Copies of this chain bind each other. A is one copy, B any other.
Amino acid sequence: MSSEPKSKHIPQATVKRLATYVQVLKNFERDNVEVVSSNPLAEACGVQGSQVRKDLAYFGEFGIRGVGYHVKSLMQSITSSLRVDHEWPMVLVGVGNLGRAMINHINRASSAFTVKAIFDCDPFKIGDIVSGFEVMSPSEIQECVEKMHIDIGIITTRPERAQRACDHLVNAGITAILNFAPARIKVPDTVNVEYVDFFRNLYSLVFDLTQNGRNS
C-alpha cells in the first residue's frame, strides 16, 4: 500500500472532503469500528458513496471488495499522503477571547496542528501567560518562525488589526494563513490564505429559515 497520491492534481475541494473523512474515521476508531464500507462512510460524512470512492481513488485502491476500508489504515494513508501525519507548528496573532479559545481548541483537538507561539500588539498583554505560552510582541515573530521552522500563521485579531497582523506574518516568512478575523486581507501571490467566517454559515441558515416562509 503506497502512501503517495496517484496524481498530484488533487482538487482543493477533495482535500477538504478528505479532512472530513479523517474526522469521521477518527470517530469510527474511537467507537472501535475496524472496517467500514464506502456507503456508511459517505453517509457519516454527508456525501454520496460515489464521491467517497472517487476521492479515495486519488490514493490508489484501499477498499477490499465485499469488506470495505480498514478504518485505521485508510486514516493513515490519507494523513500520510496529505502530510498531516506529522506536526505542523503554528504561530497565532491576536490573544483575545477567540485567540485564547483557538489555542486550547486546536492544541487539544489535533496532533497534526499545534500552536507553538502567540503574539499580540497590545503592550498590556505582552508578557502574560496564556495556556502556558508567553504573549510576545509581533516584532519577535520572525525570529520565532525561523527558529521553529513554522509555515502557518493564525490570525484571531479584531477586523481592523487583521491586515497589520497579516503583514507581520508575511514579513516573517509565513506562507500559509488561517484568518479568523472578520476582514479580508491582502497578501503576495506566494502566500495562501484560508478564511474561517461562520457568519457566512449563519447567513445561510437564516436564508433557509426565511425561504421556508416561517420567519419572513
**Interface class of chain A by DSSP:** helix
With A97-B105, A101-B98 as given contacts, are A46 and B204 in contact (CB-CB < 8 Å)?
A: no
Shortest C-beta distance, A87 to chain B (Å), equals: 11
Binds B, one of A59-67, A139-147, A193-201: A193-201
CB contact list, A1-31 vs B, under 8 A: 8, 10, 12, 15-16, 18-20, 22-24, 26-27, 30
Among candidates B23, B102, B113, B180, residue contacting A183 with C-beta atoms closer than 8 Å: B23
Work out how many copies of this chain go into the complex.
2
Residue A51 lies at the interface, judged by CB distance under 8 Å to chain B: no
Docked CA distance A44–B105 (Å): 30
* With A82-B207, A83-B215, A182-B23 as contacts: A30 and B202 at CB distance below 8 Å: no
CB atoms of A203 and B84 under 8 A apart: yes
Question: Interface size (A, Cβ < 8 Å)?
Answer: 66
A127 at the binding interface (Cβ < 8 Å)? no
A148–B163 Cα gap in the complex (Å)? Answer: 38
Cβ-closest chain B residue relative to A23: B182
Is there an interface contact between B206 and A82, defined as CB atoms closer than 8 Å? yes
Interface positions of A from 79 to 134, Cβ below 8 Å from B: 82-84, 88, 97-98, 100-102, 104-105, 109-110, 112-113
Mask for A39-54, Cβ within 8 A of B = 1, else 0?
0000011100000000
List the 5 closest A-B pairs by CB distance, nearest first: A101-B101, A194-B201, A19-B203, A176-B205, A16-B200
A-B contact pairs, 9 of them (CB 8 A): A15-B203, A83-B206, A100-B101, A112-B202, A152-B206, A176-B205, A195-B201, A196-B196, A196-B198
